[in-house]
Amino acid sequence: MIRAEHLRKFYELGETTVHALDDVSVRIAAGEMVAIRGPSGSGKSTLMNILGCLDRPDAGTYELAGEDVSTLDVDELAEVRNRHVGFIFQTFNLLPRLTALENVELPIQYAGGYRARQRARQSLELVGLGDRMRHQPNQLSGGQRQRVAIARAMANDPGILLADEPTGNLDSRTGEEVLQLFKSLHCQGRTVIIVTHDSAVSRHCQREIYLRDGQVVAAPSPEAAVLMGGGA
Amino acid sequence: MMFLTIIKVALKSLAANKLRSVLAMLGIIIGVWSVICALALAAGAHDSILKQISALGTNVLMIMPGERGSRGVMSGNWQNLKIEDASALLKITQVSHVAPVVRGSVQARYFNKNTHTSLLGTSATYFALRNFKVQYGRSLSDADCDAAARVAIIGPTTAKNLFGAEFTWGLDQLVEVNGVAYRIIGILLAKGDQGWFNPDDQVIIPFSTAMHQVLGITYLQEIDVSAQDESRLTEIEQKATVILRRRHHLFGDAVDDFNIHNMADVLDTASTINKVLSGLLGGIAGISLLVGGIGVMNIMLVTVAERTREIGIRKAIGARQRDILRQFLIESVVMAATGGIVGVALGIATAKAITAAQSTFALVVRPWSVVLAIVFSAGVGIFFGYYPARRAAKLDPIEALRYE
């Protein structure tokens, strides 16, 4: 599903060059549920942006669903995001003026709008919000908002769900519910990637890719993590 | 994304900031409003000038005595146009009618009714030449002129002044003109006031009577010549010049002691002046429309800045640059076009109100000016909306998503 080889990404910060990603290779098979974990500044956001086709690597190749996407232009990348990637954000990122249903319709409309309303409704029913379709985001609880966001991410039935700290703004109980939702989606055969700094979250996943200083390293044991001041 | 959906999205986001949208539209509204009013004013002026000139007959040459001096000042002999000159002009083959004209100012009296009016002495041909129609009674005849008969045709306004609102009984009555009795043989069909001159308020008598019995002159003040075909006017003008110069014994470098006015030229000049007028007025009004466009651009820039995060979200879920561009472009076009439509409505209402409030001049809103105003305001929306929309489209999704 995902084959990223030798990804590099630099940022110029004044005089110095920051290696956000320094020779990162990642392979994720279809249907896997994987956590990308690391302390802040480890490059996990950069990796997520590249895996989610929001950004392009400065070097390395990236193959998504059998297609080399590292050479695509911005509009082609937008189409890949639209078809293959469903984003879920820490702050939900729903459009405040639209209803839950309209929010979920958006990616379908950008894909061409075929039966948008009906497909958006199905997607919302899948996350258990069939009775909240006409609500605006500010009329919904945090957990409900995140479920709307998940419904939106799945609206075009993408191969990958890419979640960035999906439980970060939720209390532990609703966070647990959202993670359970991801698990059930994973059980239905979807690829789920969760970016987090929280080992409690990554424990729900089948495996974990641990990043530090822009490189993939073996995950530290919980004890070491405590000593290093990172992780949970 | 489908077109209707984008329009709906645009209306929704405009509605979300009603006051701001209305204020931004206000510039366009006022701009279009003034464009419509300015063009309506010019069109009204054009129509009224055209009507007045047409009422005088466009197929007419007017020959006046006197030299056309430097700087348009006329000088020289004023008494050299004779009735024989008029007869001689009739020999030009392309001419259909020739009418001698003398004018004066007279007092008309019928018992205790007294009115000051203008006198016109002419021949029977004048009526055809100048589009005058006799509504009641008869026109002048050649016999009237040959006999210098004391008969008169009066305008409806004069008739009203002498005989009251139901003036038709005035036919065949004797009216004193400067103390001498004239029989009223006809009453003109109303033509309408033309501003500088009211053709409905005059007394028309045979030129012979007017010259010898009222004014005491032996010369003509004007000769009107009409062509069989309007396109022959210039040709007639040349031939008339030759004939009159010979008759007045002007040879070589001698300056004409008469001058010829071509009504078609006057009409052309009036049209040209009017085009300049509407260009000027429309241009000035157009500038305010342009200023309105800058207002739209300003608001669109603010909107794009405010909605950076929304743009980031839309891009993350698959909006291409052209989707974002189209969304904001349509928003500004909808805003400008709505302003344009409101402005047109206000302009039409203003034109109607001003026209209804007084009778001196009319404002005429032409359909093409409405189309022009709406198309132009939509164009302003595209032009001034493009830069903000492009800015939105080019935003980096990652930066935009991070924007608070």
Asked if the C-beta of A92 comes within 8 angstroms of chain B's C-beta atoms, the answer is: no
Residues of chain A in contact with residue B318, where contact means CB-CB under 8 angstroms, are 78-79, 81-83, 107, 110-111, 156
CA dist., res. B71 & res. B81, Å (int): 23
Q: What is the mean pLDDT of residues A75-92?
A: 92
Q: Do A87 and B317 touch (CB under 8 A)?
A: yes
Q: Is residue B119 domain-shared with residue B176, that is, in the same domain?
A: yes
CA dist., res. A58 & res. A18, Å (int): 13
Question: Which domain covers residue B196, as residue numbers?
Answer: 78-256
The answer as to whether B66 is a domain residue is no
Q: Helices A100-110 and A116-126: crossing angle, nearest 10°?
A: 120
Q: Measuring CA to CA, which residue among B101, B76, B74 is closest to residue B86?
A: B101
Tell me how many residue pairs between chain A and chain B have CB atoms under 8 A apart. 65
Asked if the C-beta of A10 comes within 8 angstroms of chain B's C-beta atoms, the answer is: no
Q: Per residue in B8-49, pLDDT tens?
A: 888 888 888 889 899 989 999 999 999 999 999 888 888 888
pLDDT for A227: 53
Q: Is residue B113 domain-shared with residue B42, that is, in the same domain?
A: no
CA dist., res. B319 & res. B3, Å (int): 14
Q: Is residue B252 domain-shared with residue B288, that is, in the same domain?
A: no
Q: B256, B286, B309 — which closes off a domain?
A: B256
Q: Give the side-chain half-sphere CA count within 13 A for B248.
A: 26
Asked if the C-beta of B116 comes within 8 angstroms of chain A's C-beta atoms, the answer is: no
Q: Per residue in B369-388, pLDDT tens?
A: 999 889 989 999 999 999 99
pLDDT for B66: 80
The answer as to whether B65 is a domain residue is no
Total number of residues shown for chain B:
404
Q: B206, B232, B256 — which closes off a domain?
A: B256
Q: Is residue B250 domain-shared with residue B286, that is, in the same domain?
A: no
Q: Which residue has better confidence, B192 or A73? A: A73
Q: Quick check: B313 pLDDT over 80?
A: yes
pLDDT for B196: 67
Q: Do B318 and A111 touch (CB under 8 A)?
A: yes
Residues of chain A in contact with residue B1, where contact means CB-CB under 8 angstroms, are 109-110, 113
Tally of domains in chain B: 2
Q: Per residue in A196-231, pLDDT tens?
A: 988 889 889 999 999 999 999 876 655 555 555 444
The Cβ of residue B195 has, within 10 Å, a number of other Cβ atoms equal to 10
Residues of chain B in contact with residue A83, where contact means CB-CB under 8 angstroms, are 318
Q: Quick check: B225 pLDDT over 80?
A: yes
Asked if the C-beta of B318 comes within 8 angstroms of chain A's C-beta atoms, the answer is: yes
Q: Is residue B132 domain-shared with residue B227, that is, in the same domain?
A: yes
Find all residues with CB under 8 Å of B287, minimum gap 6, and list them. Answer: none
Find all residues with CB under 8 Å of B266, minimum gap 6, and list them. Answer: B53
Q: Per residue in B261-279, pLDDT tens?
A: 887 777 788 888 888 988 8
Total number of residues shown for chain A:
232
Asked if the C-beta of A54 comes within 8 angstroms of chain B's C-beta atoms, the answer is: yes
This complex has an ipTM of 0.91
Cβ within 8 Å of B, A 150-169: 152-153, 156
φ, ψ dihedrals at B151, nearest 5°: -125, 155
The answer as to whether B125 is a domain residue is yes
**Are B144 and B150 within 8 A, CB to CB?**
no
Report the gap between the CA of B8 and the closest CA in chain A (Å).
12
Out of A49, A75, A107, name the one closest to residue B317 (CB). A107
The answer as to whether B69 is a domain residue is no
Q: Which domains does chain A have, with CATH numbers?
A: 32-56+73-228 (3.40.50.300)
Q: Is residue B193 domain-shared with residue B286, that is, in the same domain?
A: no
Q: Helices B263-306 and B321-357: crossing angle, nearest 10°?
A: 140
Q: Is residue B240 domain-shared with residue B91, that is, in the same domain?
A: yes
Out of B16, B321, B397, name the one closest to residue A97 (CB). B16
pLDDT for B46: 85
3-state DSSP call for residue B127?
helix
pLDDT for B68: 63
Q: B195, B226, B256 — which closes off a domain?
A: B256
Q: Is residue B154 domain-shared with residue B301, that is, in the same domain?
A: no
Q: Is residue B319 domain-shared with residue B384, that is, in the same domain?
A: yes
The Cβ of residue A114 has, within 10 Å, a number of other Cβ atoms equal to 9
